[in-house]
Structure 1
Amino acid sequence: MNMTLQGGRTGRRMNEGSREARVSLPPRRAWPGQLALAPLLLTATVHCGAGTTSHENAGESDTDASRGSMLAASECTPGTSGNPIVAGWYADPDIKIYNGVYWVYPTYSAPYEAQTYLDAFSSTDLIHWTKHSKVLDKANVSWATRAIWAPSPIFRNNTYYLYFGANDIQNDGQLGGIGVAKSNNPGGPYVDAIGRPLISKFINGAQPIDQNIFIDDDGQAYLYYGGWGHCNIVKVNNDMISLDNSSFKEITPSGYVEGALMFKRKGKYYLMWSEGGWTGPDYRVSYAVANSPMGPFPKAGTILSQNAAIGKGSGHNSVVNVPGTDDWYIFYHRRPLGETDGNHRVLAYDRMYFNGDGTIQPVEMSSQDNFCDGNALGWTPYGGTWTVSNGRYATQQNPDAKALLDTHFSALAYEADVTPGASGDAGLLFRVSNPGAGLDAYKGYYAGIAAGSDRVVLGKANAGAWTELASAAATIDPNVTYHLAVVANGDRISVYLNHSTTPILTATDATYASGAVGVRAHDSAAAFDNVKATKPPGVIFYADGGYGGLGISLNAGSYTLAQLNAAGIPNDWMSSLRVPAGWTVQVYQHNDFAGTMWTFTADTSLLPAEANDQMSSVRIFAP
């Protein structure tokens, strides 16, 4: 088996400068550093299109949600078909439902001089999207010349309105600001409604951009807007094209930069906004809750920020409630990890959950794809010809066909439904780096199943050299779907077949600390479905700053130095950590919970100098 993967050295710490598969299974073991897990929930695999039959193990059940990433395949439901949701560079999405159809209006993300129009996208199911080109063009707005931004739609007076910013004015002497266009169709064309900006001056220090229109239950319309760190609200008259100029009020919450959004749920008013710099990785979404649309809006917390494994620069959002439910989704833009151009932003959405008291849980960026939308956006092929067919990502027989997601996982739980061909093998790539250097330059790990040799294999590649780490006999039929899962936690790697609670393969190897995930077919036709990568449950400790180097996950508990070592964590090793919402981590300088203690309640990309590489024991508290 010639595995040709490649990658680079991890950086140092930032402050240092048709049969059920029949297998002989080894004794059950817990994930490294974790408590023993309960059995998995096993259900039939569901493909989004016609496909081959899947054979799953039966007779076991799941009573522990800690293995949520290892659930059986998902159906074609909103949020399961991967991000980005549409092709092209877009940002600042706002979403409305018109006559049972979801409409997303984003900024065309390009240099300002090229931002002369707006596209829209519609969907009946939040899965399949239709593009509507140039619903608003500067040709229909006499005063707009460039930088047409952040459209905000609304329907009233039997008319579709679209509020937008244009020209990015820097002072009151320049022509531009916030405009309003109208149409008799949600797909446009929209034309300027008043022949001039609706708001053309700086009021209360707010640059007139990033407008969001909201109509309350009593019929009063409000416009929330503002850049340069100031947020205003103003009442909009019933004609929707004029303002109550006496009602301007500054409502700037702590941390506000731009991107205001208002929505209402269960009688409460939620103001959302973006913080950080729009070209930087620190762009993020925070929110406040009030009893009135006018505020006040004390900051309640940050709910969306970059995920170093999936995407950066996440912000300028909107939300939508599925009619007749309490299901909510947050639409936003983010920048793929491999992109450095500030305008290279894509549209994404994820599920948004509320707590019982009305506060919002932090949003988990997702990295999954069941190909129900009929495309493979976000995937980059390296060798072979890849297509989406019958709701699966497939390739014909090729000496070595790979496709990767722009991700960077260290500790991870990774799974997919894999359908191998009659020869060769097919499976999952993880911790892969340097993919663009050619097939013989890859580095990374691979877990695959082979119908030709009836076995499961785990190995690693280094510039064309393949090293097998473990293998096991298993009856693998061609053109039959199997569920394959990998858990990589620090240097401990486990491979699971068909939802078994016991790994069929285990290995200890720390050659590659982090990298991309993907799929591979070696000398085999293959198809893949229900691909999903997540971080394991618990707190993840990283060897390097910026969530770099080897990552190891620990559940709640108290860990002496001996217990940390047993989990794969050396003494005085940790430089950054990711902390789930509501969890508390107490890091101790010495063994047995002695010496200086540092407390962490949120993700920390680089520990303070005095705490860096000082962990000798730790206590972890879950909510």
Structure 2
Amino acid sequence: MKKRHWFAAAAMALTLAGGALADNPQFQGADPHAMMIDGELWVFPTGGPGGSWAADRFGAFSSRDLKTWRNRGELIRRDQIRWIGDDGAPEHFLWAPGVATRDGKWFLYYSVGPQNPTPSRIGVAVADRPEGPYRDSGAPLVTGGQGFEAIDPMVFVDPKDNKAYLYAGGSAGSRLRVWEMTPDMIHVAREVPVDNPPEFTEGAFMHERGGIYYLSYSHGRFNGPDYSVHYATASSPTGPWKYRGAILTSDKHRKGPGHHSIVQAPDGRWLIVYHRWERPGSPPPFRGERQVAVDRLDYAPDGTIRRVTMTDARAPLLQPAH
């Protein structure tokens, strides 16, 4: 793959209003897993621009300037997952992907639901490139049940020892579980017991900065105004957690922000990529389509995360650091 330097491509925009200008909301979609790949921001969502979510496939989208998005094509379809019908449920949906990479391979983790009448499951597929095509591993990685909803997978590779951890769990029971992965990234080696963090509902995301491990996650009902992002910190990727509070909540016009990911831009600054209901215009439960947005994420000198301010179209994204 040719290197595409997203930050360099946006250099002209950086001279405007002190930073790059993000056209929020970016595009229709939900549950965005974001990564910087060769200097370009990639987003792996449920759905995507133009109402492309059919609940039976995943796609990817990338941008160099947070204005124009390139459709990276189809990653995998439901009919390519041979085990998906083994539970005998009458229908199945795909949502909430997570992506990781190791040793030149790319791994797509995804949720298969709904939770009823059979438990939800998490699958994993492998590719040689981030845009795929992905080949399913042949069996579920994790199956839900007994108060645990197996959705919203996220895999974090600890920079300290290169161990990989799978985080998953969702609204049916609002229970977080963590597993250490095998080196091949397609099996779990063992489950790691963890405490459930305060206000946890779903959508766990782990990142590390300056030796601090940040577990962030969504709280509340996905189609209500209480949906929000909270976080806790720890000295290891498996806790124990110190709850730090909410960092992204509804405002007057944008409701239910959540199911996010956190990435570091090539200039060292941090971004939060999330979905929200854009001026829903009706009382909850909100209906229609959620929108993906990108905003700045800032840290206080003590390492805590400052409250995120949601922005609209053409708002400055990258400002001088505090």
1:101 paired to 2:40: yes
Q: Which of 290, 294, 305 matches 2:234?
A: 290
1:152 paired to 2:91: no
Amino acid at match of 2:122: I
Residues 232 and 249 of structure 1 are in contact (CA less than 8 Å); yes or no, is this contact kept in structure 2?
Answer: yes
Query: Deviation at 1:119?
Result: 1.6
1:278 paired to 2:222: yes
- The two structures, once aligned, show a CA RMSD in angstroms of 2.6
For the residue of structure 2 that corresponds to 1:143, the secondary structure is helix
For the residue of structure 2 that corresponds to 1:139, the secondary structure is helix
Gaps of 5+ in 1: 1-46, 49-71, 371-529, 533-623
Residues 57 and 94 of structure 2 are in contact (CA less than 8 Å); yes or no, is this contact kept in structure 1?
Answer: yes
Residues 23 and 67 of structure 2 are in contact (CA less than 8 Å); yes or no, is this contact kept in structure 1?
Answer: no
For the residue of structure 2 that corresponds to 1:148, the secondary structure is strand
1:180-233 Cα distance to aligned partner (Å, 9 max, x none): 01111211222212x121001336x32100111100011100001101311111
| Whole-angstrom distance in 2 between the partners of 1:226 and 1:339 | 30
Q: Which of 271, 280, 283 matches 1:329?
A: 271
Change (3 A) 1:335 1:136: same
Q: Which of 252, 260, 283 matches 1:308?
A: 252
Q: Which of 125, 141, 151 matches 2:81?
A: 141
Q: Which of 202, 205, 209 matches 2:151?
A: 209
1:231-288 Cα distance to aligned partner (Å, 9 max, x none): 111101101001113x242431111111100000000100001111001111100000
Query: Deviation at 1:127?
Result: 4.0
Q: Which of 56, 64, 67 matches 1:124?
A: 64
| Whole-angstrom distance in 2 between the partners of 1:142 and 1:175 | 17
Residues 120 and 149 of structure 2 are in contact (CA less than 8 Å); yes or no, is this contact kept in structure 1?
Answer: no
Residues 276 and 282 of structure 1 are in contact (CA less than 8 Å); yes or no, is this contact kept in structure 2?
Answer: yes
How many residue pairs were aligned? 292
User: What is the aligned partner in structure 1 of residue 29 from structure 2?
Assistant: 90
User: What is the aligned partner in structure 1 of residue 111 from structure 2?
Assistant: 165
Query: Deviation at 1:176?
Result: 4.3
User: What is the aligned partner in structure 2 of residue 364 from structure 1?
Assistant: 309
Residues 176 and 197 of structure 1 are in contact (CA less than 8 Å); yes or no, is this contact kept in structure 2?
Answer: no
1:240 paired to 2:185: yes
For the residue of structure 2 that corresponds to 1:244, the secondary structure is strand
Between the aligned residues of both structures, percent identity stands at: 35
| Whole-angstrom distance in 2 between the partners of 1:103 and 1:117 | 17
130-139 vs 300-309, which deviates more? 130-139
Residues 31 and 259 of structure 2 are in contact (CA less than 8 Å); yes or no, is this contact kept in structure 1?
Answer: yes
1:350 paired to 2:290: no
| Whole-angstrom distance in 1 between the partners of 2:180 and 2:167 | 9
Q: Which of 207, 225, 229 matches 2:168?
A: 225
| Whole-angstrom distance in 2 between the partners of 1:215 and 1:343 | 35
Query: Deviation at 1:175?
Result: 6.2
| Whole-angstrom distance in 1 between the partners of 2:72 and 2:58 | 9
Q: How does 1:519-598 map to 2 (within 5 A)?
A: none
Change (3 A) 1:152 1:360: same
User: What is the aligned partner in structure 1 of residue 196 from structure 2?
Assistant: 252
1:541-568 Cα distance to aligned partner (Å, 9 max, x none): xxxxxxxxxxxxxxxxxxxxxxxxxxxx
1:40-77 Cα distance to aligned partner (Å, 9 max, x none): xxxxxxx96xxxxxxxxxxxxxxxxxxxxxxx952661
| Whole-angstrom distance in 2 between the partners of 1:73 and 1:222 | 40
Residues 168 and 176 of structure 1 are in contact (CA less than 8 Å); yes or no, is this contact kept in structure 2?
Answer: yes
User: What is the aligned partner in structure 2 of residue 264 from structure 1?
Assistant: 208
| Whole-angstrom distance in 2 between the partners of 1:302 and 1:320 | 18
| Whole-angstrom distance in 2 between the partners of 1:84 and 1:116 | 24
Residues 147 and 167 of structure 1 are in contact (CA less than 8 Å); yes or no, is this contact kept in structure 2?
Answer: yes
Gaps of 5+ in 2: 1-11, 85-90, 318-322
Residues 25 and 312 of structure 2 are in contact (CA less than 8 Å); yes or no, is this contact kept in structure 1?
Answer: no
Change (3 A) 1:265 1:115: same
| Whole-angstrom distance in 1 between the partners of 2:67 and 2:225 | 27
Q: Which has the larger radius of gyration?
A: 1
Residues 122 and 150 of structure 2 are in contact (CA less than 8 Å); yes or no, is this contact kept in structure 1?
Answer: yes
Change (3 A) 1:368 1:123: closer
